[in-house]
Amino acid sequence: MAYNYQRNCPPCGGRPPYKNPWGPPPPGAGRPPYQGPWGPPPPGAGRPPHQRPWGPPPPGAGRPPHQGPWGPPPPGPGRPPYRGSWGTAGKNNRLQSQSCAQEEEQEADDLYMTDMPEPGQMEEDWLYMQQLYPNTARKLVYYIEDAADRLEYENSMMFDNYPDRIAVEQVVKEIIAVIQENDPALITMPEDTAVSDRKGDQTWDSCIEEMIQIMLLGEMHHRRWRYQQMNRRNY
């Protein structure tokens, strides 16, 4: 015969809750935390930091920087800049290139001065060419050289890189004024000159003025060359 487990159960159909023989626990009561065999730890206590077997490190101590097998580097800025096979870069390269350019220019000037004749020889050749001028031109040379002498000074417009045309024409007018005062027959049209020989608007005065200007420019060119040669040789 099978045992009927439901025979002694209450009408609810389940086991009643367990009743403690000492009664229910008071309000707020529960199992206290485990204290261990030595009791609770003192206030503020905890595991101390690991000290290693030789104790804590001294204040400010730490691993020193790696010195390498040759010791610490000498005091200074550090590794010098890479110079490469052409020297240092930057400003030194520019200075070297400028010095090389100056040396090449000096060598070219030396070769130029070697091939050029002496100033005395050039001056003699220039005077000989002036003797081959026509009669009227040889007389005008005196007044043109006098005007060039007055222009031959330091920082004169005659020694400018690009002399001004208006300034040259003003010098020509001054030369004509001096000739008219001292020898007006030199620039006066001869009586045997026919009117038909004049072409267009070009008059005798304009021809004389143009000839004086051409001769003045030739004299200025000669003196500019002489001035440059003297400066190069003195340098």
What pLDDT, on a 0 to 100 scale, did the predictor assign at position 174?
A: 94
pTM of the model: 0.47
Distance CA 149, CA 182 (A): 18
For residue 65, name the pLDDT band (cuts at 50, 70, 90).
low
Per-residue pLDDT reduced to its tens digit, 116-175? 556 678 888 888 898 899 888 999 999 999 999 999 888 899 989 899 999 999 999 999
For residue 179, name the pLDDT band (cuts at 50, 70, 90).
very high
Q: Give domain limits for the chain.
A: 133-189+200-234
What pLDDT, on a 0 to 100 scale, did the predictor assign at position 230?
A: 79
- Mean pLDDT on 172-189: 91
Distance CA 123, CA 138 (A): 17
Per-residue pLDDT reduced to its tens digit, 13-31? 566 666 767 777 677 666 7
Tell me the three state secondary structure of residue 139. helix
DSSP annotation of 88: -
